[in-house]
Amino acid sequence: MIRPPLTRFCLIRHGETDWNGAKRIQGHIDIDLNAAGQAQARALRRGLSAHAFAAAFSSDLLRAWNTAQIATSGLGLAVSPAPTFRERHFGVMQGVTTLEASERFPEALRHHKARTPDYDFESGESLNDFAARIMAALDALAVLHAGQNVLVFTHGGVLDVVYRAATGREQHLPRDFLLPNAALNWVGRDDQGWKLISWADCSHLNRALDEVLE
């Protein structure tokens, strides 16, 4: 019996923003790249040029979209906007640091640190709903592009969800893996499910910040 082919995804967290440096939660707030993020996106061309992709998609938030546009320039890739790959909506926590949240939204911060699966930050998105959104979109692309390489520009929270799906690590457990800006992260999908291929490849970069610690 012939098994369905492996679909390979290269997932990239956007380049750095000023809010990343300040460890300020962005969520759906549309923050653009800073100069370091633009440089990371240019460096991504080197990392991507060694691979062929059947399709490329990007979150429509500026930090991901502009990373995609810069990184694919000259590579002959047309990037399609994909709002489904936006970051999680963090509700009342959007726009604040963890220190500010400890003063203004202590209950929300407690749930954030605990990774409470069904908590939605009062006006945002629960971890369960967020993970379901991301994995449904990737499952659909895996069918559409079976056996091919697919490139996705997205966000740290999205990568967190995907890493856990590929390694069997439950969503509520603390993070023990890196989510650097503009790194190459490869996962695969076949009839046996999701699997990790390689993660957090920063060999093309001089600088890459990790995602805000959970």
Specify whether the CB–CB gap between 93 and 25 falls below 8 A.
yes
pLDDT at residue 105 tops 90: yes
User: Distance between CA atoms of 87 and 131, rounded to whole angstroms?
Assistant: 11
State the Cα angle at 70 between 52 and 62, rounded to 5°: 115
Confidence of residue 206 (pLDDT cuts 50, 70, 90): confident
DSSP-based three-state secondary structure for 167? helix
The per-residue pLDDT for range 75-104, each reduced to its tens digit, is: 999 999 999 999 999 999 999 999 999 999
Specify whether the CB–CB gap between 108 and 91 falls below 8 A.
yes
Exposed / middle / buried, residue 3 (Cβ in 10 Å: 0-12, 13-18, 19+): exposed
* Residue 214 falls in the annotated catalytic set: no
Average pLDDT of the chain, as a whole number: 95
The per-residue pLDDT for range 177-199, each reduced to its tens digit, is: 999 999 999 999 999 999 999 99
The catalytic position among 16, 87, 125, 211 is 87
Confidence of residue 4 (pLDDT cuts 50, 70, 90): confident
* Residue 14 falls in the annotated catalytic set: yes
Beta-strand runs (E) in 29-167: 55-58, 79-81, 149-154
The residue behind tokens 């006006």 is 123
User: Distance between CA atoms of 184 and 210, rounded to whole angstroms?
Assistant: 13
The catalytic position among 14, 89, 155, 204 is 14
Specify whether the CB–CB gap between 210 and 178 falls below 8 A.
yes
The per-residue pLDDT for range 154-172, each reduced to its tens digit, is: 999 999 999 999 999 999 9
DSSP-based three-state secondary structure for 83? helix
The domain defined by 17-201 folds into: Rossmann fold (3.40.50)
Lowest-pLDDT choice from 128-132, 185-189, 196-200, 208-212: 208-212
